[in-house]
Amino acid sequence: MNLAWGDLFAGLSILMVLEGLLPFLNPGGAKRVFAQLAALSERDLRVGGLVSMLVGLVVLFLVRS
């Protein structure tokens, strides 16, 4: 597999665009979501982060193969 730096930066750019959509389109909703996230335990946040990473890896594998 030959991953170029441009691919990495393109992926990070898309991530930033997607992360910015909710606060741009619905700032009040974004505040509520962030408040709910702040209320979660560290364990719940870690599990959510792990699940997110695993799903991302599976999707990346499917797209790149």
- DSSP assignment letter at 65: -
Q: Which residues contact 29 (CB under 8 A, 6 or more apart)?
A: 22
Number of domains in the chain: 1
Task: Give the span between the Cα atoms of 55 and 13, in whole angstroms.
Answer: 19
Q: Which domain holds residue 11?
A: 5-64
- Segment 48-56 mean pLDDT: 96
pLDDT (tens digit per residue) in 1-50: 567 888 889 989 999 999 999 999 999 999 999 999 999 999 999 999 99
Is 30:37 a contact under the CB 8 Å cutoff?
no
